[in-house]
Amino acid sequence: MIGIIQRVLLDLLEETGGEPLKFAVMDRAGVPHDRDFRIDQNYPDDECLKLIQGAVDETGLSEDAINVLYAKAFLKEARNLFPQFFMMAKSSEQFLLRQATIHGVIASGLKKPEERQVVKDKFSARSIEPGFVEVTYRSPNKLCGLFRALAHEVAGIYGECLTVHCADCMKRGDDACRFELRWEKTAPDGILSSE
């Protein structure tokens, strides 16, 4: 998994519970304290999953609650790092349609083509009709709960209301997760530019 994921999680833990919480989670995952996660490098998936599970175990929060907190922190970091991606999209619908491609941008940092392809194949999005987008997520990590939280947070950034229906889910035995994203109302224009 690309280092930005772990980096955001560790920063969030440090911000919330200080270094002791961060190091405790790192210990649970067997990650050395001096590990600097880079956004242009790939790290073992199971290590990242252990970090997330460690965060659940150390904080006592539910996985869903961790996902929501993480989604907020991730999008904050993403807006700092790649503000243009958010400026380019006039709505969360536009952003989430482009999200698979943005995910591919992050994957471009990986040196090995096969690693790049694995990351790129995780997401695909297509517009069914205005206000209705279908996103497919395929990964053995089964972090579909995290995507759901991220989608809601993106809608929140644009001041929009989004419903996410998980039509297929790998956790229920499906080959891939298929999300049906529907927007109930359009956002006021320029909500981002006013910030």
Partner 1 sequence: MNDSERITDLQQVIMSIADQLCETVDNNFDIHISVDTDDIHGQKLSLLINFLLENVRRHNRDMVQLNAVLEEKVRERTEQLDMVISGSTDGVWIWDAMQDSISFSENWYRMAGEKAHAEAQKPEYWMNRVHPKDVCRLKSAIRALMEGSKTQLHAEYRLRQESGGYRWMLCRGVCQRNDMGFPKLLAGTQTDITHLRSVDPQSGLPNEHYLKERIEDLLEARSTFYVILVAVRQLNAITESLDQQATEKLHLEISQRLLDEAHFSRLLARLPGNTYAFLCQVQPGENPHDLL
Which residues of the chain form contacts with partner 1 (CB under 8 A)? 36, 38-40, 81-82, 104-106, 108-109, 111, 116
Looking at beta carbons only, is 69 or 106 nearer to partner 1? 106
Confirm if 95 and 154 have CB atoms less than 8 A apart.
yes
**Which residue, 1 or 166, is less far from partner 1 as judged by CB?**
1
CB of 79 to partner 1, least distance (A): 13
Beta carbon of residue 116, minimum distance to partner 1 (angstroms, whole number):
7
In what helix (H) or strand (E) does residue 145 lie, and over which residues does it extend?
helix 144-157
As measured in angstroms, the least distance from the Cβ of 109 to partner 1 is 4
DSSP secondary structure of 69-132 = HHHHHHHHHHHHH-HHHHHH-SSHHHHHHHHHHHHHHHHTT-SSHHHHHHHHTTEEEEEEETTE
Beta bridge partner(s), residue 166 = 179
Smallest distance from partner 1 to CB 41, Å:
9
Number of Cβ atoms within 10 Å of the Cβ of 116: 17
119 versus 149: smaller Cβ distance to partner 1 = 119
Q: Closer to partner 1 at the Cβ: 89 or 187?
A: 89
The C-alpha torsion from 167 through 137 and 121 to 48, rounded to 10°, is -160
